Amino acid sequence: MLEQPSSEVMVDRPALRDRLDGALTRPLTLIVAPAGAGKSVLLEQWRAQRDDVVTLTIDVDANDDDPVRFGRRLVAALATVRPATARLGHLTALHAGGIGTPLLEALALELETYPPTVVVLDDLHHLSNTRLLADLGRLAALLPPAAHLVLSTRVDPPIAWSSLRLRDRMLELRQRDLALTRPESAQLLRRIARRDLPATTVEPIVARTEGWAAGLQLAGLTLKYTGEAEASDAFVAGIAGSDRLIADYLTEEVLDAVPERDRDLLLRMSPLDAMTADLVDHVLERTDGQRLLERFEDESMFLVALDPHRRRYRFHHLFREFLRYRLRTEVPEGEQRLLSRAADFHLDRGEVSPAVEYLLRARDWARALDAIMTRGSDVFERGEMRTVIRWITSVPETEWADRLDVALELGILVGMEGEPARAVGMLGRVAGDPHATIGHRIVAETWMSATTQWNARPEEAIRAADRALALRDEHPDAALPDLMRLTSPELMTTLAVGSRGRSHFLSGDLDEAETWMSRSLETEGIAYPPFRVGMLGSSALLRIWNGRAAEAELLAAEAIDAASAGALLDHPVIADAYLARALVDVERGAPAVAAVHLRAGIVRAEANRRSQLLWLGRYVHGVIAAAEGRFDDALAAADLARSGDRSAEGRNPGAGPAPAILDRLRALHLSVLRRSGRADEALRRSADPTPVGPAVAFEAIAAALAVGDPGAARRMLDRDLDRPGPASDSPLSDIRRSILLGWLAEISGSHAAAVDHLAEALGRAEPHGLVAVFLEAGPTVLDLACGLTPLHGGVAADLARRRDGSSTPGANAELAEPLTTRELEILAFLPDHSTNAELAKQCFVSVNTLKTHTAHIYRKLGVSGRSAAIARARELGLLDPVSRPDRARA
């Protein structure tokens, strides 16, 4: 092979190994050199000499452009050092195109607890996903001192390294560094040729190849199969030109020197990617595949072992490309037949993915499509939509133009991958196709409705859901096409009903949302775990949007438990539940805890770019920032919303936040202005002619009260009271109204009435532990509420503690030894489960790792057990002081 010859011919490079040793104090080594320059050989030699360092090598290939696959491979590699790390897999629900900051931070935190570790990404040039590459650059910057990243590639990756270069934080090795010296080149030639070579033969070859390891290796193999007389000046003179020309010339010389029977075998093996003995036996119709692979490896026939047991091999890329070229030239029909046999081998074993890849290369479009369409719900459950999209779009559209099942599946996958406009276009074309059956139309309309969390216009999804349900009612016996086992009548009903509920929520019609979400939870299809997890999470969001925190917490916990049981903790469907938990923590005045759950929700929503959940996440981020006094950050979140709203009015209607979220974001903007001493500006901005939702209406009245204009507040409040309120139980709406009435009464001189209104607000808040609404209202309301502490414990007492400064957002920083980010994350989950095994699963760590972290938490908080830690954290404001998991479950 070119870059990794057998150990007996390897030439030691001590000077380069020393340079690599010296780089271990820096986060990054970048090795950039052409194919065959000896990059992998050097790294293998270095690894063999460093028993004190754990080295993890990932051989990158083109499929790693799929961030889900790449993330899983990265986590799996880490798991070979510490098996519990596999539970970091929940974070490989990557946002489209990149790993994402939460995963990078989590990996960096994990590596802090590892022994000295080197992660090698070999053949990085196979990655073209620029966001994925940028994330690798960020990972290098985040690595702890004991971790080191090595990137080995043929071309410079598009990553900005200037900061690391300026601070001398990276080692760079390039072609000139890897070029073999004359003595090394001569040694390599003699070892490969397995005989002494005269200087008259060696020197011209060394001069011509200029230290290029692949050229030297190929020359050595040519000399191995030729006699002394044939190693003539003409042969040496032929070694000239570019690296590619050298490779072509010498590969031909090697191939021509190989015995005819081996030459034929090499050509016929060349279409194969990862080779096993069974695959070689099947494709070549032999019975000695393992011996053949081992013999070719021993003879340096450019074979690369893919596993330590030497059961899987591949050819070196350059040699494989040349063999394939020769096969197509000499036996034009041969490659397609061999590819088909390889596909048959994998299909017989139920291995659809490699079979599809072979069929696509064989241009056997019909069989490829048939194989693709056998993939089941695992595509959705494992987040592999991008791979199947690539497969289908690799087939010329003319080959599947009349296959509505393929068009439907592609539309569904594109939608789930986060391209709603494209998905609706595809699905709409199927629904309107004159050849479409009723079943095709039901499936198309249902999955169009499912794009609601990607669209700022929920009314479009409502109409699609209505069309799907109407067709289902009119044609109850209609046969539906089976696509990925995700289109049964039961599942389509659940999805359409649930999508209608989500759409009403996003539009701000919370009563209709609750009706449809409740109906969805009663349908047969809700037994399908991903649908159940998603709808429970959405229902939790709806409940906390209304202020029903206790119900929201239970529903979110049920969703997370169901996700854990169904291996869906890394899936985007759990995003709603985590965002609901974050909102519960926000409303209960625990921003630090909310931030942990928010991060978990955002990383999952980013996995398939669910824009509405990402806007909701921005809102929660802004509320947390405001609660911690970071008003500039909070305003930035609100301003982002306004720019998104402007784009929604332009060419990209799906880019901005939906009405319900936009109302909250605008209200956040007004709230921060008011709370930072700019109430007059908030009042002016509240006069925006854009339709006003309940959150903005509350802030407009609060701004009028803050500037001391009770008349304006009264007029707006009377107008607000005339509006029909939600028919469903909405504690938050009722609390806000009572707060405004109390505030108005207080500044109008009616203290007794003000106390009555605040008492009513506290009574509504107490069952749910809602404190943020009082804190956000301001000092007048807070003083009124705190004055009722003797009559209303609970929330009122908590508000009094917060006002008096016994609980502050910066409590962690004030500890003698602050909790780390990971410890804060685990602390947030401590109240949720009673056993260490359950807690470990929730936090995605091993039980032993969990015990280590909890021991650190107890020590830093000065307590001896979990109950005491929870109580102390609540006193400090590190946990929600009125968190209800235990009470709710009791």
Banded pLDDT at 141 (limits 50, 70, 90): confident
Tell me the CATH number at 27.
3.40.50
Banded pLDDT at 240 (limits 50, 70, 90): very low
Say what the pLDDT of residue 4 is: 46
Tell me if 669 is assigned to some domain: no
Say what the pLDDT of residue 381 is: 87
213 and 146, same structural domain?
Answer: no
Contacts of 863 (CB under 8 A, 6+ apart): 869, 871, 872
Say what the pLDDT of residue 793 is: 63
CA 117 – CA 451 distance, rounded (Å): 43
Last residue in a domain, options 205, 233, 255: 255
Residue 92 or 248, more confident? 248
Highest mean pLDDT among 181-185, 347-351, 634-638 belongs to 347-351
Say what the pLDDT of residue 189 is: 85
Say what the pLDDT of residue 598 is: 93
Banded pLDDT at 645 (limits 50, 70, 90): very low
461 and 501, same structural domain?
Answer: yes
Tell me the CATH number at 488.
1.25.40
Say what the pLDDT of residue 97 is: 41
How many structural domains comprise the chain? 5
31 and 164, same structural domain?
Answer: yes
Residue 753 or 232, more confident? 753
Tell me if 32 is assigned to some domain: yes
Three-state SS for 673-731 is HHHCCCHHHHHHHCCCCCCCCHHHHHHHHHHHHHCCCHHHHHHHHHHHHHCCCCCCCCH
CA 504 – CA 509 distance, rounded (Å): 5
Tens digits of per-residue pLDDT, 812-829?
767 878 887 678 778 877
105 and 135, same structural domain?
Answer: yes
Tell me the CATH number at 880.
1.10.10.10
Banded pLDDT at 229 (limits 50, 70, 90): very low
264 and 145, same structural domain?
Answer: no
Last residue in a domain, options 133, 149, 178: 178
Tens digits of per-residue pLDDT, 822-876?
787 788 777 765 577 766 656 656 677 778 888 889 888 888 888 888 888 877 7
Dihedral of the alpha carbons of 831, 836, 837, 841, in degrees to the nearest 10: 50
Question: Domain of 216?
Answer: 182-255
> For residue 85, is pLDDT > 80?
no
Say what the pLDDT of residue 482 is: 95
User: From the CB of residue 226, how many other CB atoms can be counted at a distance below 10 Å?
Assistant: 16
Tell me if 264 is assigned to some domain: yes
CA 87 – CA 567 distance, rounded (Å): 11
40 and 155, same structural domain?
Answer: yes
Say what the pLDDT of residue 137 is: 86
Say what the pLDDT of residue 889 is: 33
CA 746 – CA 700 distance, rounded (Å): 18
42 and 16, same structural domain?
Answer: yes
Banded pLDDT at 246 (limits 50, 70, 90): low
243 and 128, same structural domain?
Answer: no
Tell me if 558 is assigned to some domain: no
43 and 169, same structural domain?
Answer: yes
Say what the pLDDT of residue 821 is: 67
* Mean per-residue pLDDT over the chain, rounded: 84
Say what the pLDDT of residue 260 is: 87
> For residue 184, is pLDDT > 50?
yes
Tell me if 685 is assigned to some domain: no
Banded pLDDT at 92 (limits 50, 70, 90): very low
Lowest-confidence region among 209-223, 342-356, 617-631, 765-779? 209-223
Lowest-confidence region among 348-362, 486-500, 868-882? 868-882
815 and 846, same structural domain?
Answer: yes
Highest mean pLDDT among 18-27, 49-58, 422-431, 632-641 belongs to 422-431
Tell me if 572 is assigned to some domain: no
Say what the pLDDT of residue 233 is: 55
Tell me if 488 is assigned to some domain: yes
Share of the chain above pLDDT 70, in %: 85
Residue 815 or 658, more confident? 658
Banded pLDDT at 771 (limits 50, 70, 90): very high
Q: How far is CA 413 from CA 389, 390, 530, in A?
A: 7, 10, 15
How many H helices and E strands in the chain? 49, 7
Query: DSSP E strands: which ranges in 12-142?
Result: 28-32, 54-59, 117-122
- Candidates 723, 726, 674; CA nearest to 700 is 674
Say what the pLDDT of residue 439 is: 97
Tens digits of per-residue pLDDT, 519-573?
999 999 999 999 999 999 999 999 999 999 999 999 999 999 999 889 898 899 9
Highest mean pLDDT among 221-235, 449-463, 866-880 belongs to 449-463
Tens digits of per-residue pLDDT, 713-727?
999 988 875 555 565
Tell me if 376 is assigned to some domain: no
Contacts of 749 (CB under 8 A, 6+ apart): none
Q: How far is CA 851 from CA 434, 469, 516, 660, 845, in A?
A: 62, 51, 43, 42, 10
CA 82 – CA 99 distance, rounded (Å): 21
Say what the pLDDT of residue 887 is: 35
> For residue 237, is pLDDT > 60?
no
Banded pLDDT at 886 (limits 50, 70, 90): very low
Tens digits of per-residue pLDDT, 251-309?
666 677 788 889 899 999 999 999 999 999 999 999 999 999 988 877 767 777 788 78
Question: Per residue in 415-430, is it b (16+ CB within 10 Å) or e — as a string?
Answer: bbbbbbbebbebbeeb
- Residue type, position 476, single letter: P
Question: Phi then psi for 98, rounded to 5 degrees?
Answer: -160, 170
Say what the pLDDT of residue 213 is: 81
- Residue type, position 716, single letter: M
173: β partners: 31
Six-digit token pair at 430? 């199927």
> pTM of the full predicted structure?
0.75
> For residue 657, is pLDDT > 70?
yes
CA 662 – CA 644 distance, rounded (Å): 9
228 and 105, same structural domain?
Answer: no
Tens digits of per-residue pLDDT, 595-633?
889 988 998 998 888 999 999 999 999 999 999 889 998
- Residue type, position 112, single letter: E
Say what the pLDDT of residue 101 is: 60
Last residue in a domain, options 255, 279, 306: 255
Say what the pLDDT of residue 641 is: 45
269 and 195, same structural domain?
Answer: no
Tell me the CATH number at 273.
1.10.10
Say what the pLDDT of residue 234 is: 55
